[in-house]
Amino acid sequence: MKKNIQTMVDYWLKLFICLIISMSTNISAHDYNNISITILDSAVAEAKGAVCLDGSPPAYYHAKGFGDGANNWFLYLEGGGWCISDEDCAVRLTDRSGSSKYKPKSVYFGQNKSQNQTENPDFYNWNRVYVGYCDCSSYMGDVELKTNVTRRGARVFNAIMDDLLAKGMSNAENAILSGGSAGGLGAMLHCDGFSELLPNAKRVKCISDSGFFIHAKHLPGADKRAEYYANVSAYHGIRVDSLPSSCTSRMDETLCLLPENIIRDIKTPLFIVETAFDQYQLALNYFSNESTWWNCTNNIEVCTPSQLQTIKDYGVALRQTLQEISDTTSVGIFVHPCFRHGHFYEKSGWEGSFILGDKTIAQAVGDWFFDRASFQVIDYDNELPRFRNCSKFIASSYI
Ligand SMILES: *[C@@H]1O[C@H](CO)[C@@H](O)[C@H](O)[C@H]1NC(C)=O
Ligand SMILES: *[C@@H]1O[C@H](CO)[C@@H](O)[C@H](O)[C@H]1NC(C)=O
Ligand SMILES: *[C@@H]1O[C@H](CO)[C@@H](O)[C@H](O)[C@H]1NC(C)=O
Ligand SMILES: *[C@@H]1O[C@H](CO)[C@@H](O)[C@H](O)[C@H]1NC(C)=O
Ligand SMILES: *[C@@H]1O[C@H](CO)[C@@H](O)[C@H](O)[C@H]1NC(C)=O
Ligand SMILES: *[C@@H]1O[C@H](CO)[C@@H](O)[C@H](O)[C@H]1NC(C)=O
Ligand SMILES: *[C@@H]1O[C@H](CO)[C@@H](O)[C@H](O)[C@H]1NC(C)=O
Ligand SMILES: *[C@@H]1O[C@H](CO)[C@@H](O)[C@H](O)[C@H]1NC(C)=O
């Protein structure tokens, strides 16, 4: 009798375990874009001193590569703007842009690119790492002093890279450092340093997604834009030697945070994904002081004629700035005319909605990365943002 009970218990226990295993296999097979967080507690110790604005440890999300993608790595640096003073940063201490305490436990993987070979042939089986933004300095800050707002973005970057190298990235064959918005700027600024971490890789390249913040020297607000990045630099203690010396020797070092000034100093091949009408830059980078400007950048249908002119002027300046760097053949350029900010964070941005020269962003990037074809396409057909086939806004009068 006792034996029978034991057998029954064993039986049910085994069945239960099988059930759990098959359930979890199902979940992971079904849901492998849902990646859980890695919190880097070990980075906090004094030797590294890598912490978020609020002193919490850095964090990232890693989905393992598989098959012949096991040694390929696609990193994405999350963005989220900057903050430039204790008061300005205070709100960041209680949200995910300044603290890992508020990061989601799992993410629907950043760029949400599919692991379906048909849909995402070049990258479907790569390791993917979504690096959590929590320093508000484009991963560049390095202030020794610990205050209520700790500014250590560069250390956060280094600590996460060390951890990934130890987890297999040191054997990378192919690697991409990408990032969106402030993270896209970070990807450019860290591009050569990243490449140096992987001396044995076949290919290392970088991608900036909506990180090309322009100075637009001849447009209103130019001084404010320069002043703003100077403030970012000063507040976060961005070290001069973390910027390309070929730039800092030519001009005020704080101007070396502006992509147009450093693009020729970056030796590693770089791909720029932009819209000619970046909604964030237009709204927040001092292009207009008009009180209804915000309304206009939220809904182009309510813009006044002079506001539309400001948008046109911005579009001309952005395209001109990128045109000027297109002689560098290793640079990939994808500039579409939709009103938008950021692409890789959603599947439709990466694989769908935006098509230039018959290619989606994923296809253009794939061809460029594997040296099948260069890609430099700037849309010049639209002097105002186009809306049809642009996923965010639908308006009838501008297409
Ligand atoms: C992702 O997985 C976690 C558990 O790892 C779960 O709690 C969460 O609900 C999942 N998210 C989604 C959107 O399915
Ligand atoms: C992969 O994508 C193709 C094209 O969208 C689709 O037909 C196929 O069912 C997908 N495969 C899986 C396993 O989801
Ligand atoms: C730092 O935080 C403490 C505790 O919240 C507060 O009392 C103090 O005023 C803050 N210091 C500064 C400089 O904001
Ligand atoms: C830069 O910082 C100074 C000093 O804190 C401040 O007065 C100024 O408004 C800031 N400028 C911009 C554009 O952020
Ligand atoms: C907005 O106002 C500031 C300060 O008066 C000025 O420096 C700046 O050029 C103005 N920007 C625009 C776009 O007019
Ligand atoms: C602009 O938007 C604000 C709300 O953000 C609203 O209160 C205001 O009425 C709008 N102005 C115009 C001219 O549409
Ligand atoms: C990401 O993919 C999941 C599952 O396919 C989907 O539910 C979610 O809406 C997607 N998120 C974005 C931002 O595209
Ligand atoms: C919009 O996209 C559809 C399907 O991808 C395409 O057939 C159509 O030509 C596009 N329209 C424009 C105006 O580009």
Amino acid at 368: W
Q: Is the CB of 291 under 6 A from ligand 5?
A: no
Identify which of 133, 167, 142, 139 has the alpha carbon closest to the alpha carbon of residue 49. Answer: 142
Closest to 190 measured CA to CA, from 117, 262, 94:
262
User: Measured in angstroms, how far is the CA atom of residue 248 from the centroid of ligand 3?
Assistant: 35
As separate numbers, helices (DSSP H) first and strands (DSSP E) second, the chain gives 13, 12
Q: How far is the CA of 121 from the centre of ligand 7 (A)?
A: 19
Q: Residues with Cβ within 6 A of ligand 1?
A: 34, 36, 106, 108
- Rg of the Cα trace of the chain? 23
Q: Is 286 in the pocket of ligand 5 (CB under 6 A)?
A: yes
Q: Which residues, 6+ apart, have CB-to-CB distance to 47 below 8 Å?
A: none
Annotated active-site positions, please?
A: 181, 278, 341
Specify the residue with its C-alpha closest to ligand 8, atom 9: 389
* pLDDT given for residue 155 in this prediction: 98
- Nearest protein CA to atom 13 of ligand 8, as residue: 388
* Three-state secondary structure readout of 181-250: CHHHHHHHHCHHHHHHHCCCCCEEEEEEECCCCCCCCCCCCHHHHHHHHHHHHHHHCCCHHHCCHHHHCC
396 lines ligand 2 (CB under 6 A): no
pLDDT confidence of residue 353: 72
List the chain domain ranges. Answer: 2-392
Cβ(304) – ligand 6 distance below 6 Å: no
Which numbered ligand comes closest to the C-alpha of 381? 8
| CA-nearest residue, atom 4 of ligand 4 | 231
What would the two tokens of residue 128 be? 């993917």
Taking the CA of residue 347 as reference, the ligand 7 atom at the shortest distance is 14
Q: State in Å: Cα 328 to ligand 1 middle.
A: 43
Hey, whose CA ends up nearest to atom 5 of ligand 1?
36
CATH of domain 2-392: 3.40.50
Does ligand 2 have an atom closer than 6 angstroms to the CB of 119?
yes
Partners of 44 in the beta sheet? none
pLDDT of residue 109: 65
Minimum CA distance residue for ligand 5 atom 1 = 289
- For residue 11, the model assigns a pLDDT of 41
Whose atoms come closest to the Cα of 291: which ligand? Answer: 6
Report the atom number in ligand 3 closest to the C-alpha of 86: 14
Place of tokens 């002689």: 327
Q: Whose CA is nearest to atom 13 of ligand 3?
A: 148
Structure-block tokens of residue 100:
């890992």
**Residue for token digits 């994923």?**
362
The answer to whether the CB of 58 falls within 8 A of the CB of 161 is no
Q: What is the pLDDT along the chain (399 residues), one digit of tens a residue?
A: 444 444 444 444 443 443 333 333 333 444 667 789 999 999 998 888 999 999 999 999 999 999 999 999 999 999 999 999 999 999 999 999 999 999 999 887 645 567 778 878 899 999 999 999 999 999 999 999 888 999 999 999 999 999 999 999 999 999 999 999 999 999 999 999 999 999 999 999 999 999 999 999 999 999 999 999 999 999 999 999 999 999 999 999 999 999 999 999 999 999 999 999 999 999 999 999 999 999 999 888 899 999 999 999 999 999 999 999 887 778 999 999 988 898 887 777 777 778 888 888 999 999 999 999 999 999 998 999 886 556 543 333 232
Q: Which atom of ligand 7 is nearest to the CA of 108?
A: 1
Q: Ligand 3 centre and the CA of 148: distance in Å?
A: 6
